[in-house]
Each structure stands twice: as C-alpha cells, then as structure tokens.
Amino acid sequence: MSEKLIRLQCGYQNYDWGKIGSSSAVAQFVKNSDPSIKIDESKPYAELWMGTHPSVPSKAIDIGKTLRELIESNPTGLLGESIIEKFGSSKELPFLFKVLSIEKVLSIQAHPDKKLGAQLHKQDPKNYPDDNHKPEMAIAVTDFEGFCGFKPVDQISKTLELIPELKSIIGDDLSKEFINEIKPSATTGSEDDKINRKLIQKIFSKLMNTDETKLSQKAEELVKRSEEDPVLFQKIDSRLPELIQRLNKQFPNDIGLFCGCLLLNHVNLKKGEAMFLQAKDPHAYISGDIIECMAASDNVVRAGFTPKFKDVKNLVEMLTYASEPVEQQKMKPLSFPKSSGDAKISNLFDPPIEEFSVLQTVFDTKGGKQHFEGINGPSIIIATNGSGFIEIVNHPSSKQKIDTGYVFFVAPNTEINLTGDSGDDAFTTYRAFVEA
C-alpha cells in the first residue's frame, strides 16, 4: 500500500429519488467494492459521495481512517502546496465527486454562488450546511434526461399562448406583457437580454407565489388536458405530454409540472455526453445514471418536486434568468495531453471554474494500457464499467485491481498506468482532478 495511491470505500445517500436496491448503480458499486455490505432491496440508493465532505467522508480501506484525516495529517503530500494556497484548506478537497442513480425526478433546484452561499449558511446553517458555491457538471453513464436552464423566451411565449392553465396562473395582463415585450433575438448582456430576464423573473415569481389550492387545481387540469389533447402539447415539444404524465405520477399536481416541464429546457444526454451548470442555473435531473462533479458543497435551494425543505423566496431572488437553447449547456470533450496509450476514448471535460475537471477513459474490449503523467493536484478515480489494473509507474508492488465501483485517491504528481482487463466489457473510468 502506498500513500500515493489509496483505495477508498465511499459512503452513500438514500435520498427518495434514487433507484431502488440492487437496480441502482450506486448500490452495485458500493457492494462490488465491499461485498460485506448488505443492500436493502426496499431502499433507494441515490448518491455515492467520493471525497472529503464532512457529511459523508470517504474512508481509506486498508488504513481505517477517513481521507479527510489522512489529508489533515499530510496536507502537503496529499493536496499539494499550490492547492492549499489557492483554495485555503489543508484538509478538504476543492471538489466533491459523485455517482447519481435516478429513478424519480430530483427537486427543481439551483445552487448559490460564493457570496450567496456564505450568506445563506450564516442565516440558516441547518438548511445550508456550508458556505461554498456549487457549480456542477453531469456526465451520463447511461442515457440521461434532465431539466436545465430556462427555455428560450420565444418558446416560453408560445407555451403561454397555447396552454390555458399556465396563462390562467400567470394572468392575462402579465401573459400579454410577456408575449408582447420579449426580445427573442437578444444577445447575452445586451439591454434586450436584460428585458427578457426581467420578464422571465416576473412570470416565474408569479407562478411560484401562486396559492396552493389554485396551483393544484390547475395542475390537475393541465394533466387532464395533456391526456385529452396531446397534440396541443406536441406543438411545443413532442416529448411534453408523456413527460407531464410521468412526473405527475411521481409528484401529483406539483408546481414542478409548471416550473419544470413548461419553463425549463428538457435535455437528453447520451452515454458519455456532459453538461455544466453554473451557480444560479435552475435544474432538476429526471432519469438515468450519472457521474457528477461539483465544488465541495451541499447547498441546494429547492422549489418543487421534493419532500425536502423548499425556499421559494431565495430561489426567485437568486436566479440569473438567463434563457438559452439546450445545446448551449452541453460540454465539448477536449483532448488531454497528459494521458496517452491504447484507450479508445480519452476525453477531458474542463468546465469554466477552478475546482475540478474530469477525465473519461474508455478501453476497447481487447484491453490495452493508458499512461497518465503526474497531475499537479489531488484526484479521485472510479471504474464505472468492466475491470482492469491501476499502478504507480515504476512501482510494480503498487499494482491493484480496479473493478467496477472501485474508487482510488491519487496523490499529486503521481504517474499512473491503467490496464484494461475486461473481456467483453469496455473498462471505463472517470477521474476528477484539480490543478492550481
């Protein structure tokens, strides 16, 4: 065992929306990594947490200490001077890495920026457990769907015109104002863009502050209409009637049918595709298994589709109200010059924030070897498919099996090799890292 390559056993969260029992990738990964763990087939397994977040810190398997404790006793070796200096912590990784396995829609939510994170944590530490921001990135492990960002204004306008239940909630005057005053061709940052954002905020705020009895009655009517006249909804989006009916089964007559299904973009990601969410972008994941990486935070401001604490006032105030087509949210994979070898896919997802990037490495079924130069910062790697070996270059005794669900911490400036060994299953890994 080397302190530079540490195998981890990671904790998980049984949030309501997770896939149930062994059908969940989270449960499968946890169990494969530690066969002594008993999976409860009646419970949802929603999120696997890989990192040092104090709520669910990962443990070093052979050492019996948490990764957080190990880092605390050797911050220079395990984080590196430049990371400590840049992010100001000598015990915590700047990022939190997760696997999510989604059966039911997550809450309609947004995450604060740094300033708001600090403010919310100070006012309400129970609901906002840390003072950090939480920009996040999702990479589809299986086909995935979610809501992300407001739809372009012309689509919202069309929805207001076509769907009587939404129009009735927003009211005739405000609906007219929206339809007449939006500027569909506005460029980001222009005066017209500001007008659009104000108009979206007005209708969003009106919707979110509608009294519950009216909302639930209109939601019931909306679902009925989607069953009786699906063609009307298909004029907006061919997937819309089915989506409304499906989510209504999960959360009957919920406000999310309006603020999610009618106002937010509905995005589909194919296996291996990624999207990035800036702080203050509204979103909700709907189905699939994903790898998620975020700044080390658990601050969530929620509004619908959830039994958890909702904070409508802060959500309405905080959003940027940017509205963009779905394609804008997707990320382009880049090449990563520090990795070379036989892997069929070696992609870098590098979002425009400092806390993390993620490397995706997929081997051919034949296997092969991929070399990674040292990265000037800490990283965590998980295998999500197949199996192989991981080793520190020129340290044969460090070689260990890395099977589906196995997680390793790699210390800064550690050169490693991965070798595929999966037969028919393409060995696949994701590695989150940070460099100053």
Interface positions, 106-135, toward ligand 9C2 (CB under 6 A): 106-107, 109
CB of 436 to ligand 9C2, least distance (A): 24
292 binds ligand 9C2 (CB under 6 A): yes
Nearest residue (CB) to ligand 9C2, 303 versus 375: 303
Nearest residue (CB) to ligand 9C2, 14 versus 201: 14
Stretch of residues binding ligand 9C2 (CB under 6 A), selected from 104-112, 176-184, 246-254, 399-407: 104-112
Among 224, 308, 313, 330, binds ligand 9C2 (CB under 6 A): 308
Stretch of residues binding ligand 9C2 (CB under 6 A), selected from 68-76, 245-253, 299-307, 375-383: 299-307
Interface positions, 310-339, toward ligand 9C2 (CB under 6 A): none
Stretch of residues binding ligand 9C2 (CB under 6 A), selected from 85-93, 253-261, 301-309, 350-358: 301-309
Which of 7, 68, 197, 302 does the annotation list as catalytic? 302
CB of 112 to ligand 9C2, least distance (A): 12
306 binds ligand 9C2 (CB under 6 A): yes
CB of 349 to ligand 9C2, least distance (A): 16
355 binds ligand 9C2 (CB under 6 A): no
CB of 302 to ligand 9C2, least distance (A): 6
Interface positions, 144-183, toward ligand 9C2 (CB under 6 A): none
Nearest residue (CB) to ligand 9C2, 306 versus 379: 306
Among 136, 254, 311, 391, binds ligand 9C2 (CB under 6 A): 136
Nearest residue (CB) to ligand 9C2, 47 versus 130: 47
Whether 302 sits among the annotated catalytic residues: the reply is yes
- Residue 114, CA distances (Å) to 89, 93, 318, 322, 400 in order: 15, 16, 12, 19, 39
Residue with nearest beta carbon to ligand 9C2: 107
Question: What HEC string does the chain produce?
Answer: CECCEEEEECEEECCCCEEEHHHCHHHHHHHHHCCCCCCCCCCEECEEEECCCCCCCCEECCCCEEHHHHHHHCHHHHCCHHHHHHHCCCCCCCEEEEEEEECCCCCEEECCCHHHHHHHHHHCCCCCCCCCCCCEEEEECCCEEEEEEECCHHHHHHHHHHCHHHHHHHCHHHHHHHHHHCCCCCCCCCHHHHHHHHHHHHHHHHHHCCCHHHHHHHHHHHHHHHHHCHHHHHCCCCCHHHHHHHHHHHCCCCCHHHHHHHCEEEEEECCCCEEEECCCCCEEEEEEEEEEEEECCCCCEEEECCCCCCCHHHHHHHCCCCECCHHHHECCCECCCCEEECCCEEEEECCCCCCCEEEEEECECCEEEEEECCCCCCEEEEEEECEEEEEECCCHHHCEEEECCCEEEECCCCCEEEEECCCCCCCEEEEEECCC
CB of 422 to ligand 9C2, least distance (A): 29
Question: Cβ(228)–Cβ(168) under 8 Å?
Answer: no
Interface positions, 21-80, toward ligand 9C2 (CB under 6 A): 47
Nearest residue (CB) to ligand 9C2, 56 versus 411: 56
Binding site for ligand 9C2 (CB under 6 A): 15, 47, 98, 106-107, 109, 136, 283, 285, 292, 294, 300, 302, 306, 308
Catalytic residues: 302
